[in-house]
């Protein structure tokens, strides 16, 4: 009989309340992260090569996330003792000090978050959850065990979501290096005929049609 599929959180949901043990002590998530953006990411296992490259890559961008008021939190179903030893190994052998906490999850937590997939073995997949300061899930990414993540894309996504919220705009593909409009942003489409007729006058330097207008970011 095939194992029941996990009930994964959805975009826009409140992040599930988790009482967890981490390498930085007990945490309540998302309660302890309120007021900050956060990236919670799971990895299959400690002391594995792809995961090690990912942790180094996240740490190398720690200041980038910090400047975006965004906290990093790692997670796997390894025990906290394993996390601590792996932290030490990375520092001693690779010269990188991991500054973010790592959650010692159990199967219940991992399954609740959709990190255990029935056909992917007993380890957690490479999940990424981006949460906003109110604890709402804004972005979800799932990678298979054999594919490491692109951390620059995660930094870009957090920055783009923040700008979208602040300016009420949408972000084009590959922003800020879009093939059509470069680093400009997209105006939400009109919802009535009167607004549609005014669009060309409102955005003379960023007008393709009433449903596709763009502008520069506000200073």
Task: Tell how strand 70-76 and strand 102-104 pair up.
Answer: parallel
72/86 same-domain check = yes
pTM of structure: 0.90
Residue 193 annotated in active site: no
Residue 101: inside a domain, yes or no? yes
Residue 103 forms part of a structural domain: yes
- Give the tens place of pLDDT for each residue, 2-41: 445 556 788 999 998 889 999 999 999 999 999 999 999 9
Indicate which residue of 51, 70, 190, 213 is catalytic. Answer: 51
Mean pLDDT of all residues belonging to the chain: 90
How many distinct structural domains can be found in the chain?
2
Q: For residue 6, is it within any domain? A: no
Q: Kindly state whether residues 197 and 106 are assigned to the same domain.
A: no
CATH number, domain containing residue 147: 3.40.30.10
Is residue 219 one of the residues assigned to a domain?
yes
195 and 143 part of one domain: no
Asked if 104 and 159 sit in the same domain, the reply is: yes
More confident residue, 165 or 110: 165
CA distances, 170 to each of 37, 41, 175, 201 (Å): 19, 25, 10, 20
Give the domain range for residue 202: 168-219
Asked if the structure places residue 79 within a domain, the reply is: yes
In a domain, 181, yes or no: yes
pLDDT tier, 184 (very low <50, low <70, confident <90, very high otherwise): very high
Instruction: For residue 54, tell me if it sits in a domain.
Output: yes
Task: Verify that 195 and 113 share a domain, yes or no.
Answer: no
* Those residues with Cβ within 8 angstroms of residue 8's Cβ, 6 or more apart along the chain or in another chain: 113, 114, 140
């Amino acid at each position: 009989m095939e194992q029941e599929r996990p009930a994964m959180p959805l975009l826009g949901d409140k992040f599930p309340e988790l009482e967890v043990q981490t390498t930085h002590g007990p945490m309540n998530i998302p309660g302890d992260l309120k007021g900050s953006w956060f990236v919670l990411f799971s990895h299959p296992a400690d002391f594995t090569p792809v995961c090690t490259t990912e942790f180094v890559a996240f740490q190398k961008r720690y200041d980038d996330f910090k400047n975006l008021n965004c906290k990093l939190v790692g997670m796997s179903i390894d025990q906290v003792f394993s996390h601590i030893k792996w932290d030490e190994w990375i520092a001693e052998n690779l010269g990188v000090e991991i500054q973010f906490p790592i959650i010692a999850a159990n199967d219940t937590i991992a399954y609740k978050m959709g990190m255990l997939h029935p056909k992917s073995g007993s380890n957690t997949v490479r999940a990424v959850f981006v949460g906003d300061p109110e604890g709402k899930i804004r972005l979800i990414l799932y990678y298979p065990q054999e594919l490491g993540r692109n951390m620059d894309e995660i930094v870009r996504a957090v920055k783009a979501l923040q700008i979208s919220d602040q300016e009420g705009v949408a972000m084009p593909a590959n922003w800020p290096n879009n093939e059509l409009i470069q680093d400009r942003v997209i105006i939400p489409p009109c919802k009535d005929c009167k607004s549609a007729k005014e669009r060309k006058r409102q955005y003379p330097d960023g007008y393709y049609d009433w449903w596709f207008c763009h502008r520069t970011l506000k200073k």
